[in-house]
């Protein structure tokens, strides 16, 4: 009996509205950035009690502060009196309390209101009812995650098994050495998609393509909250640097296998985590508009290396500056083309499996079929 050949439908990219529509964008970022845990930065940026940094999430200014030696918390940067933004400097140190510069309402480092001039004679006023509004805050291996949802499920309920995956790299020990902020004219998802395939490496990345074989990725099974994989080095390459040479010791927890590869993981929605044998790069994504995303790229090294005389790191900065700019530029070209009335979803190759997986997560999270 003859059995017909069944041709499955082509797996195609998302419709244009996912990248260009203002209403879709609001719905998407409301879901991914205001109900999920997002990566806000690193705990080593605020080592002492009172140290803080501000993080802006789509116009919301949030304070991330170390309120005790072993504890970090986060709260909205909005005074409960007349709504004034309390804190202006993007980072700094509070001297024991947080005071609004307008009428001197004062909060402790946990956000509790402890001073409100001329409110004592107001019947029904109770300081306990007017704390700075809290934001969920947890630390995973040195990465500070925050969650605006109230109440928020614990971080491990979102991240799951990926939380244990990178133990050998001892990420919590690493220290920030360099930061570059990029303003990219592309939707945040195009940055995630660009990160998750190396099919473009031979055409776009002459330097990176000397380091990995572009078809050499070994992908982990995609999960609802992340995707990623590893890539080994080409013969003679030791790490990702200008020339592939290693200028620092291997991170102390790595075995032979981990020393021979780079891990590339997208922790949805906003952390791109790249682990090398001798350093870590994090990129956090901050959507500003359907067609605009701010990217904060940070390079982290081991403190023993940083302390070593003659510590070198510029090779790692240079490598990723070159590669990043190639990636962001082509992502901007994608944004421009997808905005055309001529755009229609195009077919993925078999080398773009992780992108398809990510697209389906976006669809499912937003409960969209098309």
Which of 325, 203, 195, 321 has the alpha carbon at shortest distance from 263? 195
* Binding of residue 338 to its own copies (CB under 8 A): yes
Per rule CB under 8 A, count of chain residues that contact its own copies: 59
- State the Cα–Cα distance between residues 222 and 265, nearest whole angstrom: 10
User: For its own copies, which stretch binds (CB under 8 A), given 59-67, 219-227, 294-302, 361-369?
Assistant: 59-67
Q: Among 71, 90, 97, 101, which residue interacts with its own copies (rule: CB under 8 A)?
A: 101
Give me the least distance between CB of 42 and its own copies, in Å please. Answer: 24
- State the Cα–Cα distance between residues 289 and 325, nearest whole angstrom: 20
Q: Among 68, 104, 149, 289, which residue interacts with its own copies (rule: CB under 8 A)?
A: 104
Give me the least distance between CB of 322 and its own copies, in Å please. Answer: 15
- State the Cα–Cα distance between residues 54 and 41, nearest whole angstrom: 10
- State the Cα–Cα distance between residues 283 and 274, nearest whole angstrom: 8
Q: Strands, E, within the chain: which ranges?
A: 38-42, 51-57, 60-68, 71-76, 91-93, 97-99, 106-108, 113-115, 134-140, 143-147, 175-184, 217-219, 226-232, 261-267, 271-275, 280-289, 292-301
Considering only residues 75 to 94 of the shown chain, the ones binding its own copies according to CB under 8 A are: 76-86, 88
* Binding of residue 119 to its own copies (CB under 8 A): yes
* Binding of residue 48 to its own copies (CB under 8 A): no
User: For its own copies, which stretch binds (CB under 8 A), given 36-44, 162-170, 296-304, 333-341?
Assistant: 333-341
| Structure token digits, residue 308 | 């070593």
Phi/psi for 182 (5° steps) reads -115, 140
* Binding of residue 10 to its own copies (CB under 8 A): yes
Q: Among 117, 154, 161, 206, which residue interacts with its own copies (rule: CB under 8 A)?
A: 117
What x-and-dash track marks residues 18-37 binding its own copies by CB under 8 A?
----------------x---
Considering only residues 169 to 198 of the shown chain, the ones binding its own copies according to CB under 8 A are: 193
Instruction: Respond yes or no on whether the N-terminal peptide bond of residue 191 is cis (omega within 30° of 0).
Output: no
9 vs 256 by CB, closer to its own copies: 9
Q: Is the dihedral of CA 112, 113, 115, 120 positive or negative?
A: negative
* Binding of residue 337 to its own copies (CB under 8 A): yes
DSSP 17: H
Q: Among 114, 163, 296, 330, which residue interacts with its own copies (rule: CB under 8 A)?
A: 330
Residues that bind its own copies (CB under 8 A): 7-10, 13, 16, 34, 59-61, 76-86, 88, 101-104, 117-119, 121-125, 130, 133, 193, 199-200, 202-204, 330, 333-334, 336-343, 346-351
């Amino acid at each position: 009996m003859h059995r017909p050949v069944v041709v499955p439908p082509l797996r195609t990219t998302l419709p244009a509205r996912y990248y260009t529509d203002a209403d879709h964008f609001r719905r998407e970022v409301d879901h991914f950035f205001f109900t999920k845990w997002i990566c806000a930065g690193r705990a080593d940026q605020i080592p002492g009690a009172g140290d803080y940094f501000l993080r802006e999430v789509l116009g919301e200014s949030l304070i991330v502060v170390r309120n005790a030696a072993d504890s970090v918390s986060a709260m909205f940067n909005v005074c409960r009196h007349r709504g004034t933004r309390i804190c202006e400097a993007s980072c700094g140190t509070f001297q024991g309390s947080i005071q609004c510069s307008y009428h001197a309402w004062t909060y402790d480092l946990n956000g509790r209101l402890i001073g409100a001039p001329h409110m004592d004679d107001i019947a029904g006023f109770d300081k306990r009812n007017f704390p700075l509004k809290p934001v969920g805050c947890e630390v995973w291996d040195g990465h500070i995650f925050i969650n605006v949802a109230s109440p928020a499920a614990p971080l491990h309920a979102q991240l799951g098994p990926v939380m244990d995956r990178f133990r050998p790299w001892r990420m919590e020990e690493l220290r920030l050495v360099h930061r570059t902020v990029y303003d990219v004219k592309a939707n945040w998802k195009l940055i995630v998609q660009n990160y998750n395939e190396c099919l473009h490496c031979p055409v776009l990345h002459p330097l990176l393509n000397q380091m990995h074989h572009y078809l050499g990725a070994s992908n982990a099974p995609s999960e609802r909250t992340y995707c990623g994989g590893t890539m080994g080095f080409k013969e003679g390459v030791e790490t990702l640097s200008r020339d592939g040479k290693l200028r620092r010791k291997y991170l102390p927890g790595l075995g032979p296998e981990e020393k021979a590869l780079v891990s590339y993981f997208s922790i949805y929605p906003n952390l791109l985590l790249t682990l090398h044998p001798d350093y870590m790069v994090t990129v956090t994504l901050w959507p500003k508009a359907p067609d605009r995303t701010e990217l904060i790229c940070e390079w982290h090294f081991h403190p023993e290396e940083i302390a070593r005389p003659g510590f070198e790191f510029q090779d790692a900065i240079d490598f990723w500056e070159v590669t990043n700019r190639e990636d962001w530029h082509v992502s901007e070209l994608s944004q421009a083309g997808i905005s055309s009335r001529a755009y229609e979803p195009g077919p993925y190759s078999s080398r773009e499996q992780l992108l398809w997986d990510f697209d389906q997560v976006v669809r499912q999270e937003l409960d969209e079929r098309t």
